[in-house]
Amino acid sequence: MKTEKLLLELEELVEQLGYTIRKEKGTFQGDSCVMEGQKLVVLNKKKPEQQQVGLLARVLKDKDQELADIYIKPVIRKQLQELWDRFDKYKDSEIEEMDIDI
């Protein structure tokens, strides 16, 4: 699956969990937060799509229980599981800089 397509699919899943996605420019990595009761994921649109995919996959990994109630296409679930397995091998600080090869 192409990175661009996977990015769109993961964005859709994150939005189904009630998050608003904001794409901004800057010198930040990106992350999820709750601001004034609104769940946000902020992506740095200057970062490569692979890193954006990695960030969204990390946000989804933290919400694994909530994902149980959402239909995820088998090919997307497989990609997510592969990314999650990689995350389990590395420290959080290493994940941010990890070049996701999809």
d(CA 62, CA 84): 10
Report the 3 state secondary structure along the chain: CCHHHHHHHHHHHHHHCCCEEEEECCCCCEEEEEECCEEEEEEECCCCHHHHHHHHHHHHHHCHHHHCCCCCCHHHHHHHHHHHHHHHHCCHHHHHHCCCCC
102 located within any domain: no
Domain assignment present for residue 28? The answer is: yes
Q: Tell me the residue range of the domain where 83 lies.
A: 3-97
The 10s digit of each residue's pLDDT in 70-92 is: 999 999 999 999 999 988 887 65
User: What is the total count of domains within the chain?
Assistant: 1
- Note whether residue 85 is domain-resident: yes
Q: Is residue 80 part of a domain?
A: yes
pLDDT digits (tens, 9 = 90+) for 1-49: 799 999 999 999 999 999 999 999 999 889 999 999 999 999 999 999 9
Q: How much is the pLDDT for 97?
A: 47
pTM of structure? 0.84
